[in-house]
Structure formats: structure tokens, C-alpha cells
Amino acid sequence: MCMVQDGSKVLLMNRPDKLGFPGYIAPGGKVDFPESIVNGAIREVKEETGLDVTDITYKGLDEFCDPNTGLRYMVFNYLTTSFKGDIRKNPPEGELVWVEIEEALKLPMQDWFKRRFPLFFRRGTFEMSFIWDERSNRTLQETIKNYGESASGN
């Protein structure tokens, strides 16, 4: 996932129900083997928005595990303020909208994205890990860490 920021705004897409994960979300998707994770994020932004992003910054990891199935789902999160190009007129994943950062959390979005959203704009990186029991539809354990928040600005 790569959050595209332009001053006080971010580019979000409003995904329709039929594509899953409905609501507002940042661009992202799966990494194609054997591309690197960072190159996958850059490619996904291009495919979904039409923008060429550069100088992306790693912001953190969000991980979900289901002990019943052995599934481990990892999302590598990036932020960029460097991009060029024009936004796609008919984006494949949903309507693209520039949204004020301060207003974004008022929009309908998945709980997991809403929880992660502010972390893109904090100093340092984050790590979020959730052990999720899909059968009972509940979180068994969660770990949330922030690294480098108290570091002096360089």
C-alpha cells in the first residue's frame, strides 16, 4: 500500500462493494513474483491511479494471522509526496479523490485502514500484528508498536 500525499491532501480511492474492502482506501495490491515489495507498491499505484511515484518512504508493516488456517497476510505500507502524471479518468479499483488529511477519517472506510491511516503521517515507522480467529470473528491478540516517534528531527 502506498499513500500519495500532496500537501494537506491524500489520494484515496472509493472502492465499490463488488471489489471487496469497500470504502475509502489508499492504492495498493499484491506483489507479482519476483518483483520486490517496493517495486510492487510503485507498480500498483501506477496501475490504480495513473501516477508515477518516486521517493517512497517505508512507514510500517500490518500483519494478520489466522491460527485456524495458517494464513499470514502482510501489508507493507509506504508514503510518497513525489509523483508525476495525471490521475486516471476510469480507474479500475474505484473513484479517485483528493481528500484533506484532517477530514479523511470521517469517510466510510474499513476499520483496519482507519486504524492505520494516522500512522502514515507520524515520524518513524509502525508495526501492527493481529492474530484473528475467523471462525469466532474476533481478535485473539494484537501488538502495535511505533518506532522512532520520539527521535529528534534530522
Q: What is the pLDDT of residue 18?
A: 82
Strand partners for 74: 63
CA distance 131 to 124: 24
pTM, two decimals, is: 0.91
Per-residue pLDDT of the chain (154 residues; tens, 9 = 90+): 999 999 999 999 999 888 777 899 999 999 999 999 999 999 999 999 999 998 999 999 999 999 999 999 999 999 999 999 999 999 998 999 999 999 999 999 999 999 999 999 999 999 999 999 989 989 999 999 999 876 544 4
The gap between the terminal CA atoms of the chain, to the nearest Å, is 26
Q: What is the pLDDT of residue 152?
A: 47
Q: What is the pLDDT of residue 153?
A: 45
